[in-house]
Amino acid sequence: MVPIPHIVAIPYPAQGHVLPLMELSLWLVKEGCKITFVNSEFNHKRVIKALSENKDVQKKISLVSIPDGLGAEEDRTDLKKLTEAIAEVMPGKLEEVIKMINESDENGVSCVIVDENMGWALGVAEKLNIRRVAFWPAAAATLASLFSVSKLIDDGIIDSDGTILRKQGIKLSPNMPIMNPSDFAWACFPDPAMRKLIIELVKDNNERVKSADWIICNSAEELEPGAFAMFPQVLPIGPLLASNRLGSSAGHFWPEDSNCLKWLDLQPLNSVIYVAFGSLTILDSIQFQELALGLELSKRRFLWVVRENLLTEEAADNAYPKGFKDRISNRGHIVKWAPQQQVLAHPSIACFLSHCGWNSTVESVSNGVPFLCWPYFADQLFNQSYICDVWKVGLGFKKNEFGIIGKEEIKNKMDQLFGDEAFKERALDLQAKVKSSVKGGGSSNKMFGKFIDWIKTAQ
């Protein structure tokens, strides 16, 4: 009897990393693989809680957890603390999980798929002589910037601690768009100690990833040909979307409010602005109020995701402008978390006011929806330049002298986007290219097929 490939998948413990690796895992289950998905204990509890009863994910995938080294009440937004705790605790715990599977399951672990940010897990797999796949959940260009750290230091663009020495835009390769050094993933941390920690982590991951049999990326050649040409060992298999698998997405940290889909059903075609900032963006009360007033001022329909910890204050309800909810009740709908892929696929959605996380970016692109860009940090800043400057399917906002995006600016950019049909036309052209990449015979589809063959053949 041919053994079933048993894969252990380990995401980085953040929402934008768990979702695409869970999606890849569900694709692999569809292809006849067995998956053990290893979350941190903290995130595992959130994922289990958010999985609604009608989802059979737990029948398809074994969801297990290991501690991340922090106590239940400790602050996981302190990335320095979290990173150090993970490095100390998780490697040993992952090794225990793999050994336990190998002792108790006739289908021992044949392969690990590791988020590239968790390079230490590749080291655990190498020690146990298990085949290794590095998974990059974001843009290939962002990974290219991480792989280029040593060269950036040699060229005097950054120092060995990640501090920017030359501020002008650079091209990592002639065929790649200009990147602003201040947009590099580590540069958004003002604390020098944090920057140094990230740079050291990047260098370590760059070394460890050399031991991987495959480096796969949740992107498509059609979206960023320059980045894939620069690092041909990075192989595009995306976008990995539930809609392409004809399933629903899983791995959310908060329960999805599907009632918003019924509200969207009642709205005219191409009329609704979808406003969502992912899982990490935080707005202060002034910026939150300006956004609310900008949505009101636009006089347009909107669906706004205001998750529990979007605001710096505890009580989100007190943060809305006085009387705001009453005034917008006939054209605005507010939820705590939305089934985003289904929302973006809805015919009433006209544009996406987004933080430009990579998952959100490829989901919007895959549905032909133009953008209003509001990046918060890390790779989101560069993703905006893809959206606005390279693909030309969106507009960015300008901050005022106080660092705030004002209500008038929000309204004006909405008017500009809605008033120029070229944005929608380009978005539909890009959608067609990306959709063809994941269909039979497309570039991502072929690469995914080769990947599956490799997983199934060498047990």
Can you tell me the distance from the alpha carbon of 121 to that of 369, in angstroms, rounded to the nearest whole number?
37
Give me the pLDDT at residue 457, please.
Answer: 86
pLDDT of residue 318: 75
Cα angle 332, 46, 356 (rounded to 5 degrees) comes to 50
Q: What's the predicted TM-score (pTM) here?
A: 0.95
Distances in whole angstroms, Cα of residue 167 to Cα of each of 148, 241, 298: 17, 36, 36
Closest CA to 134 of 64, 43, 251, 231: 231
Q: What are phi and psi of 154, to 5 degrees?
A: -60, -35
**Nearest partner of 306 among 317, 321, 295, 322, judged by Cα:** 317
Asked if 386 contacts 392 with a C-beta cutoff of 8 angstroms, the reply is: no
Mutual angle of helices 15-30 and 358-366, in 10-degree steps: 50
The pLDDT value recorded for residue 51 is 86
- Please name every residue paired with 273 in a beta bridge, in sequence order, or none if there are none: 302, 351
* 42 CB-side CA count, 13 A: 18
Give 449's strand partners: none
Block residue for tokens 């006011």 = 353
Q: Would you state the pLDDT for residue 353?
A: 98
8 Å CB contact between 153 and 160: yes
User: What pLDDT score was predicted for residue 451?
Assistant: 97
**Confidence (pLDDT) at 69:** 92
Give the chain's domains with CATH numbers.
6-248+438-457 (3.40.50.2000), 258-435 (3.40.50.2000)
Q: Which residues make beta-bridge pairs with 304? A: 275, 334
The stretches of 273-376 forming alpha helices (DSSP H) are 285-298, 324-327, 340-344, 358-366
Instruction: Provide the phi-psi class of 189: left if phi over 0, else alpha when psi is between -120 and 50, else beta.
Output: beta
Q: Walk along the chain (459 residues) and give the pLDDT tens digit of each residue.
A: 668 999 999 999 999 999 999 999 999 999 999 999 999 999 999 999 988 655 688 889 999 999 999 988 888 888 888 999 999 999 999 999 999 999 987 879 999 999 999 999 999 999 999 999 999 999 999 999 999 999 999 999 999 999 999 988 999 999 999 999 988 888 888 888 888 999 999 999 999 999 999 999 999 999 999 999 999 999 999 999 888 877 778 899 888 999 999 999 999 999 999 999 998 888 999 999 999 999 999 999 999 999 988 887 654 557 899 999 999 999 999 999 999 999 999 999 999 999 999 999 999 999 999 999 999 988 999 999 999 999 999 999 999 999 999 999 999 999 999 999 999 999 999 999 999 999 999 999 999 999 999 999 865
Query: How far is it between the farthest Cα atoms of the chain?
Result: 69
Q: In this predicted structure, what is the pLDDT of residue 313?
A: 61
DSSP secondary structure code for residue 137 in this structure: -
